[in-house]
Structure 1
């Protein structure tokens, strides 16, 4: 049985593992948003940035890309993903059903936000998000790079996320 990973943020443009195939998919009952303070990759403890996470919201859906892991690399990929995504325990690893654009359904490894974690910040207005993203820098680089790469990759695969598009435009106006 194939291992799948659902990408909705940086996994879209930087999976970090060998992908056998990628297929547009929808994860029901979750919404993508900048609801996690980043104190490692795109910010610091003193000046946190923001990264995308999936907030459970019944009736909503997140469009992203289901990534099939190359056969034989499942254990190595899962180890890599856990080191990358679970660095501060703000994400929770789940196996959820993703509906692929071609009609298939797959069980995918998905990283969703722990709403009880101190890094959760699900109530920030878009302008406040833009101000934070425009200035934050972390171990993997500027927060702006994360936003721009994600927004551009979503558009390149034909996915439309109005909030991300607004943020990318606004951050370009104010970034220092």
Structure 2
């Protein structure tokens, strides 16, 4: 199964097309719904699941380099959220959602993660203690207008001070992710560096 980019501008129409395509791919598999969590889904899944396994994805890594104008920022003060981009590897969790609940969970996830259709949903191979499993993950193209590329420290600090969206601030999102990853034995060096940067400038307690 695969979800490739649609040649439709970002927005609700593209999001709806991607949901339709992803749901059809999942239904065709005949399996439970498997989801790869690498950011806020680790510490706030907001859905019931039958199993959670530690997992590692090869070929993608986690970065705080996606503009957020809804969830963790606004059009006036865009924030940042995490994305999976190509290259490297990423440790996280794979959730198994029973098939009977899968449709509802997908719709719920789309409302939360895909209000503007920016992510590229993909089925990725995940290495878990139960073997290789294929799970849905939200990735980002470096060609996306929401991709920031590397950010200088003054830019990050401005965002940490000012960006707030419907789910709270970018800084709170970063700190909660660092803590959530640690609770599963995962230390992300770049996210830890960013959290310590905020602490050095008095924006939060040391993580």
When normalised by structure 1's length, the TM-score is 0.91
More strand by share: 1
Partner-residue secondary structure (3-state), 1:80: helix
Counterparts of 2:153 and 2:181 in 1: how far apart (Å)? 19
Task: Name the residue aligned to 1:114.
Answer: 141
Report the Cα offset of residue 138 of structure 1: 0.9
Do 1:42 and 1:140's aligned partners in 2 also have CA atoms closer than 8 Å?
A: yes
Q: Which stretch has the larger CA shift, 112-121 or 147-156?
A: 112-121
C-alpha root-mean-square deviation of aligned residues, in Å? Answer: 1.6
Aligned length: 173
Task: Name the residue aligned to 2:107.
Answer: 79
For residues 54-133 of structure 1, what are the structure 2 equivalents within 5 Å?
54-57=84-87, 60-100=88-128, 102-125=129-152, 128-133=155-160
Selected match of 1:138 from 154, 161, 165? 165
Report the Cα offset of residue 172 of structure 1: 2.6
Q: Which runs of 5+ in 1 are unaligned?
A: none
Task: Name the residue aligned to 1:38.
Answer: 68
Q: Which stretch has the larger CA shift, 107-116 or 40-49?
A: 107-116
Query: After superposition, what is the alpha-carbon deviation per residue over 1:130-153, rounded to whole angstroms, capped at 9, x for unaligned?
Result: 442233111111111111110001
Counterparts of 2:51 and 2:134 in 1: how far apart (Å)? 15
Task: Name the residue aligned to 2:23.
Answer: none
Q: Which stretch has the larger CA shift, 124-133 or 11-20?
A: 124-133
Task: Name the residue aligned to 1:25.
Answer: 55
Counterparts of 2:161 and 2:60 in 1: how far apart (Å)? 26
Larger radius of gyration: 2
When normalised by structure 2's length, the TM-score is 0.78
